[in-house]
């Protein structure tokens, strides 16, 4: 059930970006926010890498879009949707691989700083999955509003 909900939200994000031009994907939501659909996809690629590969699988990886863009939101003029979607899809696939044979009770490890926010360094795959569903659901709400502002399209 957790995998199905996470996949639903991943598909929703892709749907919110479909059929738009590069310029439209770079339109900010509403002042003063600079959030864009393209930035959301980049951000969620970073989130996928962080939680499934770095925290759960224990891999020491740099951010997908560079050290100076750790949250993924900053855009570059030479990086369009095809490149960003491919990077995001790779991170989704790698995340699926890292937990394919794992139990929801298996744990990853947070850094000391991250543990300060949640109270413990150990974090189960179950908790990571729930967090990822929440992360996507929140950002899909942002994506709904951005997409509606761009061309009036609403819904999933």
Domains within the chain, CATH numbers bracketed: 2-151 (1.20.120.450)
Q: What is the pLDDT of residue 114?
A: 65
Between CA 7 and CA 85 the distance in angstroms is 15
Average pLDDT over residues 124-145: 96
Report how far apart, in Å, the C-alpha atoms of 20 and of each of 25, 57, 87 are.
6, 35, 18
Of residues 112 and 16, more confidently modeled: 16
Mean pLDDT in the chain? Answer: 91
Tokens describing residue 44: 């969620």
């Amino acid at each position: 059930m957790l995998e199905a909900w996470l996949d639903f939200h991943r598909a929703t994000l892709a749907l919110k970006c479909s059929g738009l031009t590069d310029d439209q994907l770079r339109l900010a939501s509403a002042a003063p926010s600079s959030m864009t659909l393209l930035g959301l996809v980049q951000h969620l690629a970073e989130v996928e890498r962080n939680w499934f590969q770095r925290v759960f699988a224990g891999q020491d990886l740099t951010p997908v879009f560079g050290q100076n863009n750790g949250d993924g939101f900053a855009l570059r003029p030479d990086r369009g949707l095809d490149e960003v979607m491919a990077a995001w899809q790779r991170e989704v696939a790698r995340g699926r691989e890292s937990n394919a044979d794992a139990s929801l009770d298996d744990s990853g490890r947070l850094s000391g700083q991250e543990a300060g926010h949640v109270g413990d360094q150990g974090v189960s795959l179950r908790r990571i999955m729930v967090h990822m569903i929440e992360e996507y659901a929140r950002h899909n709400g942002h994506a709904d509003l951005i997409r509606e502002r761009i061309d009036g399209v609403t819904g999933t």
